[in-house]
Structure 1
Amino acid sequence: MRSGFPILSLPHVVFRRVSKSWDIFDLIKLLELSSQDLKKAVKLTKFETQKVEVEFRKDYTVDVIVWFEGKEYTFNLIETMTEKMVTEFRQTSPLKCEIHYQRSQNQVEKICKSILDLFRKSSIDRFQFSRNIYESDFKNYSNIIVDAKSVHVSPDSVTEEELDLIFGIFQKLENLSLRNRLPKNYKGLNNRKLKFLRVPSDWNDIKDFEVERLWLPKTLWTTFEFNFYIKHWLKAPNPCLKEIHVMVMEISNIFDGLTTNAWNPCSRGKYFISEDGWKPTAIDCSGELDIVREDGLMATVTLEKSQVGFYVWHQKFPTVPKNARMQQKL
């Protein structure tokens, strides 16, 4: 990008083509440092992003991560003690830029706001915490957190206070991912509806959660536990449940005491559509056994070594999206 060139004199079609050749760092610098007319012209170009994420790192810096034009760009925001009031941009690689700023500049919110304005978004999509969570973490995000739907917590443990803070701040939370188990006897999830929950957990801890999709990593259920969970589901709790993924110790007797039906192509489709929030996956359920509740709701159980999938067919014949990943049988 040449300095001094009267770029606003270009026709909009040409300006749009030229601006599309800039990387995300050039665009954000323009929004931070340029005139209002140039900022307006850049925004009218209508750039698109898949998602914008904020990560609170272990070293207490903040990363703002943008998926743009098929690449992952990272702004690493570093608070400094220097007396200079000028924000410094240092591009350290083609996909990473360091931004050094003073605390008084409130630069984290400014950069986030510039990115959201560029892509015409109202909120950060996902917040990730790689360290402990504090109420002060959110003081600079009041205007860009309103529609955030996803939170990932990666430390080995999470406290009740931290979870309560998350649920209090993120009023539209739909997707929650925890690296380790919930605090013992924690009740904050009992009446909370989520689209996705990833947490290591025993069956008894999650049996009454109103969650659409449950991923239970680092969890090994016994055959009895999974069998008991299916029988619990047959009594019609959690009407919104769509799928569960869990490791089961031994799968040979998993259907004891249950009535199962062989797949009938006239009863349901071949592919179950699983969604992780970004890209759907079409899971081949042909030939797997089905279980039917008294209300007619059907579920399929897939067995792959010790990995068990439990899929509930709220839609019997879903359309496979064109962008879906195809997960075939091994």
Structure 2
Amino acid sequence: MMQLLTRCCVPLNTRTRWIQDEIVEGDNLIKIIQLAKHSQKTKKFVKERHWDFIAIEANQRDRYICDYLVYNPSGGTRQLILYLMNLFSIPHLEAIKFMDPQRDIRDFCNFNGIYKASRVFIGKENMTKAELDYIKDTFTYIDLMCFHTEPPKAYELWPMNYRLVSLANKVKLSWRHLKEMGCQNLDLRRANLSGMELHNYIRYWIATDEPSNLESIFIRKFARYQHRHVLKGLPVFPWNPNSRSRFFKFFLDFSWDCSKGFDIIRRDGLLATIGCMENHCVFLVWKERFHEIPENYECYEAWTVKSFSMY
């Protein structure tokens, strides 16, 4: 199944005010489209395809935003997407999900509004080199790349040069892979990196003052036996409240409590915190030593397990 995800945002302007005045709580998307009174053909199409809109979900953060999932983006559905973009003054799609294992991504990307998407999720089982080259050359506004697929040979590092990267595949990474990446925040969802490889990367980070842009590495499903390899022999020290904040503002809209993590500093003065939790491991770089945390952020502990020796 291929999904196309966009936010339908109704702006408060003259063009749409008359529509908003008639929309009441509980209205579905079909009624909203009917209120536009622009295209009899589109109205008829929407009525016939009522099942397509079962997956529309209200967004609790903003009354004028909804999550809209399209299950069949060919033919008339493409026409409907463009109509919705025009109706709600959406200049471009914000996020796209590629899920259909039977379809080539290039066949789907056939209208201009799709190319400025800033968030791309790839969940189909395998990708071809041609598809990945096409995405790289065509989608030039990507900020977040969720690469939950198996890459072709020699494309293991392909997703790791976007600013925010979520990786979920079977590729086993080494510290040499990490030193070649250009991403700012890396979220590894399947323990692609061992404790020893993270240890070697941290040694590289200390010795070379590179990279300059890295802010975080988050390794999920990190086995407890890997903990002992991470800190062994590294010049770490406990938190000094005068040197940095207790809480690290994380890019996934929560914070880490780093009061029990171990700190490390390199020659250029850049400070980082290492934390090995029960099932996770984090490497957090303090570009700014003191962070302001929004009140609505949840907090997780970046503590280091006491049952293993660092040396």
**Is TM (by shorter chain) over 0.5?**
yes
3-state SS of 1:219 partner: coil
Residue 136 of structure 1 pairs with residue 141 of structure 2: no
Asked if 1 retains the 8 angstrom alpha-carbon contact of 2:159 and 2:165, the reply is: no
User: Gaps (5+ residues) in structure 2?
Assistant: 1-15, 41-51, 61-65, 304-311
Mapped pair 1:223 → 2:228? no
Deviation of 1:192 after TM superposition, in Å, equals: 3.8
Q: How many Å apart are 1:26 and its aligned residue?
A: 1.9
Deviation at 1:72, TM superposition (A): 4.2
Amino acid at match of 1:176: M
Give runs of aligned pairs for residues 105-254 of structure 1, distance below 5 A: 107-132=76-101, 133-139=104-110, 141-142=111-112, 144-186=113-155, 189=158, 192-200=161-169, 201=171, 202-203=173-174, 204-234=176-206, 235-246=208-219, 247=222, 249-254=225-230
- Residue by residue over 1:228-252, the C-alpha shift from the partner in whole angstroms, topping out at 9 and shown as x without a partner, is 0111222222221111112255212
Q: Give yes or no for contact 1:223–1:250 (8 Å, CA) kept in 2.
A: yes
Contact 1:64–1:112 at 8 Å: present in 2 too? Answer: no
Structure 1 residues 146 and 129, CA, compared in 2 at 3 Å: closer, same or farther? Answer: closer
Q: Is the 8 A contact 1:157 1:179 kept in 2?
A: no
- Secondary structure of the equivalent of 1:184? coil
Using the size of structure 2 for normalisation, the TM-score is 0.72
Aligned to 1:28: 33
The RMSD of aligned alpha carbons is 3.2
Candidates 273, 283, 288, aligned match of 2:261: 288
CA deviation profile, 1:277-329 (whole Å, cap 9, x unmatched): xxx11121112101111111111111112421111111211111233233246
Q: CA, structure 1 residues 18+63, in 2 after alignment: closer, same or farther (shift >3 Å)?
A: closer
Q: Which residue of 2 aligns with 1:38?
A: none
Alpha-carbon contact 2:157-2:181 (below 8 Å) kept: no
SS at match of 2:79: helix
User: Higher relative contact order by CA 8 Å / sep ≥ 6: 1 or 2?
Assistant: 2
SS in 2 for 1:218: coil
Matched, 1:262 2:238: yes
- Matched residue SS, 1:207: helix
**Separation in 1, partners of 2:36, 2:22:** 16
Does the residue aligned with 2:242 lie in a helix, a strand or coil? coil
Q: Go from structure 1 to structure 2 and tell me whether the alpha carbon gap of 1:160 and 1:236 turns closer, same or farther (over 3 Å shift).
A: farther
Distance 1:240 1:254 in 2: 22
Distance 1:300 1:258, change over 3 A: same
Q: Partners in 1 of 2:160 and 2:293 — Cα distance? A: 32
Letter in 1 for 2:28: D
8 Å contact kept, 2:123–2:147: yes
Q: CA deviation at 1:263?
A: 0.5
Choose between structure 1 and 2: higher strand proportion: 1
Shift of the 199–210 alpha-carbon distance from structure 1 to 2, 3 Å rule, reads farther
Q: Which runs of 5+ in 1 are unaligned?
A: 1-11, 36-61, 80-102
SS of 1:253 mapped into structure 2 = helix
Shift of 1:131: 2.1
